[in-house]
Amino acid sequence: MRAIDLLGQTSTYSDVFYILKDTTPPTIPSIISPSDGFLSSTTTISFDWSDSSDLRSGILEYFISISTSQYFENLIYSSNPINSALTVYNLQEGKLYWKVKAKDKAGNYSLYSSTYSFYIDISSPIIINNQISPTQWYLTDPGAAFDIDFQDLSSGLTTIEYRIRKGANDTGTILKDWTQIIPDLNGQNSYTNNWALDFNSAVDGLNYVSVRAYDRIGLSSTSIDSFILRKDTSSPNIIDNQSGDDIWRNNSGTTYNVDFEDLGIGVSTAQYKITSLPNQAGTIIKDWTDIFTNQNYSSYTNDWQVDFFALQETATNYVSVRAWDGLGSSKTLNDVFYILKDTTKPTISDNQPDDNIWRNTDPGPIYDVDFADLGGSKLNNVQYCASSSTSLTCDIKPWTNIALNIGATYYTQNW
């Protein structure tokens, strides 16, 4: 500096002070970690970025910003560390964004670094069960009918699966092992579409369906027996334990062993029909008649009777059965057994006049009394006895076979 008075005299003073000028901003820092898309299973994150350079005034500090928005409207954390690294604790779950900039000692700011995102996920996926259980009875594959939703609002879903077992509480035969409901979720936060399963793998009856979900961190949730799938695609089953009834019957009360079962919704109605010929041919002796109705038996094993009074004599009565389940599926089985009926007593035709000839020797087979059985079972044996009076005392000769094992409708030989 110098000073000059009115006489032109001067004084000079060198280096009174100095000035530092820096109008150039620092270089932009580059993010090192966490990298873009980083997944973390902890709420403690170590941030690191490259050192900025400033060839004049030098770096004073950095500014780090963390937000739930890529536009940083809502900052959840900010700080101005002097070093290019920082550890932050207790960050919230979800997808977070971060960026950093540098400030030099002259107050110049660099531009912000690129914005990187990262995920904090310490919670397992959520399974939202909206499915009614047990389901209705399905006769055919219902397709995408099952309403269980999946959600992970932090790192996002990667895999959702179901499994079908025969028993409850994760027991019984595995009918369909873990199978993806939909592939390639790619981290989406929720899946709410109704979905289908492998209906053909399920069995008639009750099927226990479990589900599970994984997120991108590897955390998982499982729901055992999320719902019971009820399936019935088969007709009722008829179990014929009854052979043909070869015993000739002359009264009612005989029961017959033909059973019915349905592993699905159950047997609703069972009926029998009686015809004079096999395969429901010939005369209808008794049209379809209920054995039981309006039921839902999984198994019906009680022996049952037919209408004995409707049966025909002198003919074979062929019995067929049919059954329905609650969905209308039916099955018919012809000629499960047959019945022989004979309620007509044998007849005796007395063609023999009184023998008024006194006998002193055996006259041989001269007596003409015939026998017949018109009821159908045929004669088995015929007998006589002799009494000393008109009362049937058989005191002279007790009942004695004239013929055995006849097996014919008539016996007309003299004896």
Domain range summary for the chain, segments of one domain joined by +: 31-120, 126-231, 237-341, 344-415
Identical topology for domains 126-231 and 237-341: yes
Domain 237-341: assigned CATH number = 2.60.40
Supply φ then ψ for residue 186, to 5 degrees: 55, 35
Q: What is the pLDDT of residues 9-44, one digit of tens each?
A: 898 888 888 888 889 999 999 999 999 999 999 999
Q: What is the pLDDT of residues 225-269, one digit of tens each?
A: 999 999 999 999 999 999 888 899 999 999 999 999 999 999 999
Query: Which residues are CB-neighbours of 75 under 8 A, at least 6 positions away?
Result: 65, 66, 67
How would you write 174-226 as a 3-class SS string? EEEEEEECCCCCCCCCEECCCECCCHHHCCCEEEEEEEEEEECCCCEEEEEEE
pTM for the model: 0.76
Region 405-411: mean pLDDT is 94
How would you write 248-310 as a 3-class SS string? EECCCCCCECEEEECCCCCEEEEEEEEECCCCCCCCEEEEEEEEECCCCECEECCCECCCHHH
Residues 131 and 114: beta-carbon distance below 8 Å: no
CATH fold for domain 126-231:
Immunoglobulin-like (2.60.40)
Query: Which architecture, in CATH terms, is 31-120?
Result: Sandwich (2.60)
Q: What is the pLDDT of residues 348-381, one digit of tens each?
A: 999 999 989 999 999 999 999 999 999 888 999 9
Token readout for 247 is 């015993």
Grouping H, G, I as helix, E, B as strand and the rest as coil, residue 228 is strand
Residues 26 and 106: beta-carbon distance below 8 Å: no
Q: Is the dihedral of CA 265, 269, 275, 281 positive or negative?
A: negative
